[in-house]
Amino acid sequence: MKQPTVLIVEDEPAIAELIAVNLRHNGFQPTLALDGESAQREIDAMLPDLVLLDWMLPGASGLTLARRWRGDPRTKAVPIIMLTARGDEADRVAGLDAGADDYMAKPFSTKEMLARIRAVLRRRAPEQAAVTLEAGRLKLDTATHRVSFDEQLLKLGPTEFKLLHYLMSHAERVHSRGQLLDKVWGDHVFIEERTVDVHIKRLREALGGAAPMIETVRGAGYRLTTQTVATS
Q: What is the pLDDT of residues 9-32, one digit of tens each?
A: 999 999 999 999 999 999 999 999
Q: Is 19 exposed, middle or buried (0-12, 13-18, 19+ CB in 10 A)?
A: buried
- What per-residue confidence (pLDDT) applies to 132? 87
Nearest in space to 36 (alpha carbons), one of 56, 21, 14, 19: 56
For residue 63, how many other CB atoms are within 10 A of its CB? 21
Global confidence as pTM: 0.57
Residue whose C-alpha is closest to residue 114's, from 81, 149, 163, 156: 81
The pLDDT, as a whole number, for residue 195 is: 85
Q: Which segments in the chain show pLDDT lower than 50?
A: 127-128, 188-189, 230-232
pLDDT given for residue 183 in this prediction: 81
Q: What is the pLDDT of residue 187?
A: 53
